[in-house]
Chains A and B, each alone.
Chain A
Amino acid sequence: MLELILPSLFQTVYMVFFSTVFSLLLGFPMGVLLVITEKGGIWEKPTLYRILDSIINILRSFPFLILMVLLFPLSRLIVGKTIGTTATIVPLSIAAAPFVARVIETSLKEVDKGVIEFGQSIGATVPQIIFKILIPEAMPSLIMGVTLTIVNIIGYSAMAGAIGGGGLGDLAIRYGLYRFQTDVMVVSVFVIVLLVQGVQFLGNKLASKINKK
């Protein structure tokens, strides 16, 4: 059992880790852009906002499995193959990016308008307001957002397993569904649950630890 679970767990962690990193790289700037370009934002650009907003909505309405299949060509372009753990990171990151954008947007929007106004009143530039005020003020909430993202990506990664992504989800399906080895499935699911719980616990802890409010 252990020799089945361990490699799959490793694959899942690997997949989730890099997908989180890349989806943050893609989604974080989008989230920031949404907040600053919206009406009343510190860098009002209504057209850009509308375009970004639509793209995110469209991407988010795609069912993940379909998006993944659609992104096979992109996976091939980037990692040279469409099947396997590394290849799955591409669609996972892209699927999670619009989610990340919304999560970041929500967190940044929670920041008190007054401190942004203070920034403007001392003549801070837009990047200064973003990096010196907006992001530091939103940090606890951003950490909660990243936690939510990781949990979500763990879920996605389990689904990705079904179409050759590897990892615990793949294990559960291959053994549980196709070979009727319910025990492997149960343990796989149990490990996934444990993973989610652990991430959430650590995220909550960290967020409340750094929050000075």
Chain B
Amino acid sequence: MIEVQNLSKCFQNGNECIWAIKNVSFHVNRGEIFGIIGLSGAGKSTLIRCLNRLEEPTEGKIIIDGVDMTALDKRELRSKRKEIAMIFQHFNLLSQKTAYENIALPLELTGLSKKEIDLRVNELLEYVGLKDKKNAYPSQLSGGQKQRVAIARALANNPKILLSDEATSALDPKTTKSILELLKRIRDELGLTIVMITHQIEVVKDICDRVAIMENGEIVEISTVEELFRRPKSKTAKAFISSLKSNVQEEFIISEEFKGKVVRLSFWGDNAKKPIVSQVIKKFNIDVNILSGNISQLMSTSAGHLIVELEGEDEKVQAAIDYLRSRDIEVEVI
């Protein structure tokens, strides 16, 4: 659906060139939710803005649906952009227009009749769950509601692709979840391909299929989300994932205070659903005391972290640890 080849972007600063994106290549499949995560200043926004040429790429090619974006003239680009919607961190709603008028705007520009516009806007308001906020101005809406209006507006012309630049970064965790659910629904029901820029690993975890990690203008790692959580390769990816792992409870576990061995178990996919702990208890005749844990639902799989105390004879405990490791569970002694 989207094919990016050797994309580079330099911002001219006097005679100097600041390379915000360096030789980036990746592809996004149709119907996929593709995440791009990186720290501030990594070049994420620049990259996503190159996709619809809000930012002109300096080098490289962007092929969307078989069309080379970089070869389009202004007019062709404008018509192509109607297929590529965009949502923003700060919503970018027109402050002087109501929710209804905001959603109607792209339709007006396309030249639909009043009646057609009315039908479509009401349908969209319904879809994003804001029927009762039809006549509210952005200043009267909460952040989550504003983003819903922006999403409805983005969907107005039936785009094929949705570009999201930090669409949830200005929202609280609960609202973020609900917006992510809406985006997922859009992908599932309307078949859109979504490119999500974010610096929140939770976003990647919750809805992305695959993810690219950006560091200093380069993509250092591309993998499925499951693979990323299982075996992060780059420093940035590891940092992001450990930020997610570090549970508050964990901080309070001081292993010296326990008689047995305190270990952290990390497991993915099917393992998360198997009764491994009870198997260990039965098999090795040791006590397992659960101290803290969490299981997160990733896109297509689950990932869990469990901190347990293993009590029993040393060799039995060691055998249990080996057994767990043999079952593809990461065991870390704390």
* Total count of chain A residues near the partner, CB < 8 A: 22
- Which residues A74-126 have CB closer than 8 A to chain B? 112, 114-115, 117-118, 120-125
Evaluate whether A123 and B94 lie within 8 angstroms (CB atoms) in the complex, with A118-B88, A132-B109, A212-B137 already known: no
Q: Contact: B92 with A118, CB < 8 Å?
A: yes
List chain A residues, Cβ under 8 A from B139.
212-213
Q: Contact: A136 with B86, CB < 8 Å?
A: no
8 Å CB contact of A117 from B54, B105, B109, B138:
B54
- State how many angstroms separate the Cβ of B2 from the closest Cβ of chain A: 16
Q: Which residue from chain B places its CB closest to the CB of A114 in the assembled complex?
A: B92
Q: Which residue from chain A places its CB closest to the CB of B89 in the assembled complex?
A: A114
Contact with B along A151-182 (1 / 0, CB 8 A): 00000000000000000000000000000000
Q: Contact: B78 with A121, CB < 8 Å?
A: no
Evaluate whether A122 and B96 lie within 8 angstroms (CB atoms) in the complex, with A212-B137, A212-B139, A213-B139 already known: no
Q: Contact: A213 with B109, CB < 8 Å?
A: no
Evaluate whether A114 and B94 lie within 8 angstroms (CB atoms) in the complex, with A120-B54, A121-B81 already known: no
8 Å CB contact of B105 from A120, A132, A212:
A132
- Which residues B78-125 have CB closer than 8 A to chain A? 78-82, 84-86, 88, 90-97, 105-106, 108-109
Q: In the complex, which of the residues B78, B81, B96, B138 has the most CB atoms of chain A within 10 Å of its own CB atom? A: B96
Q: Contact: A122 with B106, CB < 8 Å?
A: yes
Q: Contact: B54 with A121, CB < 8 Å?
A: yes
List chain A residues, Cβ under 8 A from B91.
114
Is residue B5 within 8 Å, beta carbon to beta carbon, of the partner chain?
no
8 Å CB contact of A114 from B84, B90, B97:
B90
Contact with A along B16-55 (1 / 0, CB 8 A): 0000000000000000000000000000000000001010
* Total count of chain B residues near the partner, CB < 8 A: 29
A211 to B163, CA, bound (A): 30
A140 to B139, CA, bound (A): 15
Q: Contact: B81 with A122, CB < 8 Å?
A: yes
Q: Contact: A213 with B96, CB < 8 Å?
A: yes
A125 to B77, CA, bound (A): 11
Q: Contact: B92 with A117, CB < 8 Å?
A: yes
List chain B residues, Cβ under 8 A from A132.
105, 108-109
Q: Contact: A128 with B92, CB < 8 Å?
A: no
A128 to B105, CA, bound (A): 10
Is residue B223 within 8 Å, beta carbon to beta carbon, of the partner chain?
no
Is residue A133 within 8 Å, beta carbon to beta carbon, of the partner chain?
yes
8 Å CB contact of A121 from B79, B86, B93, B138:
B86
Q: In the complex, which of the residues A120, A121, A124, A132 has the most CB atoms of chain B within 10 Å of its own CB atom? A: A121
- Which residues A178-213 have CB closer than 8 A to chain B? 210-213
List chain B residues, Cβ under 8 A from A125.
78
Q: In the complex, which of the residues A117, A118, A137 has the most CB atoms of chain B within 10 Å of its own CB atom? A: A118
A99 to B288, CA, bound (A): 81
A123 to B78, CA, bound (A): 4
8 Å CB contact of B80 from A118, A120, A123:
A123
Is residue B292 within 8 Å, beta carbon to beta carbon, of the partner chain?
no
List chain A residues, Cβ under 8 A from B108.
132
- State how many angstroms separate the Cβ of B88 from the closest Cβ of chain A: 6
- Which residues B183-233 have CB closer than 8 A to chain A? none
List chain A residues, Cβ under 8 A from B92.
112, 114-115, 117-118
Q: Contact: B80 with A136, CB < 8 Å?
A: no
List chain B residues, Cβ under 8 A from A124.
78, 109
A140 to B81, CA, bound (A): 30
List chain B residues, Cβ under 8 A from A112.
92, 95
Q: Contact: B78 with A213, CB < 8 Å?
A: no
List chain A residues, Cβ under 8 A from B86.
118, 121-122
Q: Which residue from chain A places its CB closest to the CB of B97 in the assembled complex?
A: A136
Is residue B301 within 8 Å, beta carbon to beta carbon, of the partner chain?
no
Q: Which residue from chain B places its CB closest to the CB of A121 in the assembled complex?
A: B86
List chain A residues, Cβ under 8 A from B79.
123
8 Å CB contact of B96 from A117, A120, A128, A211:
A211
List chain A residues, Cβ under 8 A from B77.
123
Q: Which residue from chain B places its CB closest to the CB of A133 in the assembled complex?
A: B94
List chain B residues, Cβ under 8 A from A65.
none
8 Å CB contact of A128 from B93, B94, B109:
B109
**Can you list 20 residue pairs at the A/B interface with Cβ under 8 Å?**
A112-B95, A114-B88, A117-B54, A120-B54, A121-B54, A121-B84, A122-B81, A122-B85, A122-B106, A123-B78, A123-B109, A124-B78, A128-B109, A132-B105, A132-B108, A133-B94, A136-B96, A137-B95, A212-B96, A212-B139
Known: A117-B92, A120-B81, A123-B82. 11 other contacts (CB 8 A): A114-B88, A115-B93, A118-B88, A121-B52, A122-B82, A122-B85, A122-B109, A123-B78, A132-B109, A137-B94, A137-B95
Interface residue ranges, B against A (CB under 8 Å): 52, 54, 77-82, 84-86, 88, 90-97, 105-106, 108-109, 137-139, 157, 163
